[in-house]
Amino acid sequence: MPGDAAQQALTMVAAVRHDPVLRLQLASSFYDDQPHRASIRPYRRAELAFMRWQLRRGVLASPQSPRPGSQWWRSVNESLLRDACEAHWLAAGRSGPASTPAVVRWVDFLGNPCARTWYRAHNASVVAGYLEHRHLSAAELPAERFFMDLTLARLLCVHALVVKPRLALGRRLTAVGRLVADPRWRGADLFLSLQNIWPTQYPLTGRSIDEILKAASYAGHLIDDAVILPRMQTLYAFAASDLNLPRLLDLIRDGYPTYAWAYEDRHAWTTAPAWTARSLLSWLTAPTG
């Protein structure tokens, strides 16, 4: 197959662009065992679980399908697929150089697979995709725009759980932080699984953001209110530094995500679970002084 690693990746992603199932297969194939390389198969679990949920929602559906998907979700997903594919070919000996900093992080992951290198690679691709395709978010319904910010906030939280757990979960639960967020295990679903929080319907017509949030799971509200929201600004600042993506700080204001959700509507981030449970979780996860 001719061409350097970047061109090869572009060709492979273009071939699956309008078929969500083939997208999933391409994402899965990156984690297949390769000769002379440490196995990374367990790391596919978190990424593929979220992609399968995207397929069920229909956001990756082709523009020509009876129910077209989301151009924004397709584009961000494509950024992730492209970076991983290019890193695979570079690691296999295809000529370079890496076309994006995220590709370099994926190559690092392949050479030293662990939860830290996986989050740094995966999130570098996702954040870069968010930044590159921000203009596309304007075409989505309000509830979908809120979900974009919620997804990013939770992803940055689990990133910190692995790389700097005391920052994300406080000193009392530091010991379990890395284990909970490890992408190889189901513990990460506590933060990354959104199927009990967000409707599988796309587009989200006929439902306001308030109605959706009221119907969301109690546990999900507790995580957002007691764990993530109080340290949101710090989590974004940490990720911007750790990923060397300072533009990430343009997506938050005074502790409220503003990628696609207006700062003026920030009240949507504050829900009202039982005060006792929220206070207890806030105490357990309180940042250190």
At 197-224, the pLDDT tens digits run: 778 889 988 878 888 877 765 555 666 7
The answer to whether residues 156 and 57 belong to one domain is no
The answer to whether residues 58 and 80 belong to one domain is yes
Please tell me the predicted confidence (pLDDT) of residue 247: 97
Query: How much helix, strand and coil, in percent to the nearest 5, is found in the chain?
Result: 65, 0, 30
Of 96, 122, 139, which one is at a domain's C-terminal end? 139
Q: Is the model's pLDDT at 280 over the cut of 70? A: no
The answer to whether residues 269 and 134 belong to one domain is no
The answer to whether residues 4 and 77 belong to one domain is yes
The answer to whether residues 249 and 260 belong to one domain is yes
The answer to whether residues 131 and 247 belong to one domain is no
Please tell me the predicted confidence (pLDDT) of residue 73: 98
Read off φ and ψ for residue 76, nearest 5 degrees.
-65, -40
The answer to whether residues 213 and 285 belong to one domain is yes
The answer to whether residues 181 and 87 belong to one domain is no
The answer to whether residues 75 and 189 belong to one domain is no
Report how far apart, in Å, the C-alpha atoms of 97 and of each of 84, 94, 100, 205, 244 are.
14, 9, 9, 44, 19
Rounded percentage of the chain residues whose pLDDT exceeds 70: 81
As a whole number of angstroms, the distance between CA 93 and CA 4 comes to 10
- In this prediction the pTM is 0.90
Centroid of chain to Cα 99: 21
Number of domains in the chain: 2
Q: Is the model's pLDDT at 96 over the cut of 90? A: no
The answer to whether residues 76 and 193 belong to one domain is no
Of 110, 139, 168, which one is at a domain's C-terminal end? 139
Question: Which of 70-84, 88-102, 151-165 ranks highest by mean pLDDT?
Answer: 70-84
The answer to whether residues 84 and 218 belong to one domain is no
As a whole number of angstroms, the distance between CA 287 and CA 289 comes to 7
The answer to whether residues 67 and 154 belong to one domain is no
Of 121, 139, 157, which one is at a domain's C-terminal end? 139
Q: How many CB atoms lie within 10 A of CB 253?
A: 13
Domain extent for 286: 142-289
